[in-house]
Amino acid sequence: MSGIFISFEGIDGAGKSTHIHALADALRSQDRALKLTREPGGTALAEQLRNMVLNDSMDPMTEALLVFAARRDHVQRVILPALARGEVVLCDRFTDATFAYQGGGRGFEWQVLQQLEHWVQHDGQSGLLQPHTTVWFDLPPAVAAERLAGARVPDKFESQPIAFFESVAAGYARRQSEDPARFVRINAHQAPAAVWQDVQAALRARGVLPS
């Protein structure tokens, strides 16, 4: 039995968290075994690395190495075991965020990230671990900035200027163009109820939710 791995992506302020929780509730109500997790994070070690990545200043390569170190631990200890048990894994961000933030936002080399992705997510038997579906909440950076303004104390990324998020969004678009079948692009510039309708429709179409 093998589970289903779903990741959720988007720039800060895109509103993905609400919908991840709504989806978790919808799956639980059907008695699906579920693992709700996030990156960077998801294990004790990876949560410590998250703290550093979100709060300490560092060069882009250090940032990329730390998020991939956190990911390795998370994949080995949490994601692969949950999938092997047949669970649905809902992951708030995964490797596309590294391409978007460290690649697009910070300008770190795409090819080096591809190499790190291969080292961290590839194994001889099952090939490259990727989400079955990636739900990408796409929102203009200016709108996201308005939503974030005053909402809470911003972390290192949330306090970046709009130009940074334009580059992050371009990173997501590039990732989607490299693997379009995996991505579901959701127009996040709508009322939350309309976004939720779109998320449900996309996941029904992919057999994650019953039609």
**127 burial class (0-12, 13-18, 19+ CB within 10 angstroms)?**
exposed
Residues that contact ligand TYD, how many (by CB under 6 A): 13
Rounded distance, CA 94 to CA 114, Å? 14
Q: Among 76-84, 94-102, 129-137, 173-181, which window interacts with ligand TYD (CB under 6 A)?
A: 94-102
What DSSP designation does 34 have? E
* Shortest distance (Å) from residue 1 CB to ligand TYD: 28
* Shortest distance (Å) from residue 54 CB to ligand TYD: 6
Q: Is 92 in the site for ligand TYD (CB under 6 A)?
A: yes
Rounded distance, CA 71 to CA 78, Å? 10
Closest residue by Cα to residue 5 from 73, 78, 66, 70 = 78
Q: Among 89-97, 132-140, 141-149, 180-188, which window interacts with ligand TYD (CB under 6 A)?
A: 89-97
Among residues 6, 97, 135, 169, the one that binds ligand TYD under rule CB under 6 A: 97
Q: Among 22-30, 97-105, 169-177, 188-196, which window interacts with ligand TYD (CB under 6 A)?
A: 97-105
**Cβ atoms of residues 183 and 206 within 8 Å:** no
Q: Which of residues 124-163 bind ligand TYD (CB under 6 A)?
A: 157
Q: Is 104 in the site for ligand TYD (CB under 6 A)?
A: no
Among residues 3, 12, 20, 79, the one that binds ligand TYD under rule CB under 6 A: 12
Rounded distance, CA 175 to CA 205, Å? 22
Q: Which residues contact 190 (CB under 8 A, 6 or more apart)?
A: 198
Placement of tokens 């060069």 in the chain: 59
Q: Among 92-100, 130-138, 177-185, 188-196, which window interacts with ligand TYD (CB under 6 A)?
A: 92-100
Q: Which of residues 24-83 bind ligand TYD (CB under 6 A)?
A: 39-40, 54, 67
Q: Is 20 in the site for ligand TYD (CB under 6 A)?
A: no
Among residues 19, 35, 74, 93, the one that binds ligand TYD under rule CB under 6 A: 93
Rounded distance, CA 16 to CA 20, Å? 6
**DSSP letters along 129-187, please?**
---SEEEEEE--HHHHHHHHTTTS---TTTTS-HHHHHHHHHHHHHHHHHSGGGEEEEE
Residues near ligand TYD (CB under 6 A): 12, 17, 39-40, 54, 67, 92-93, 97-98, 101-102, 157
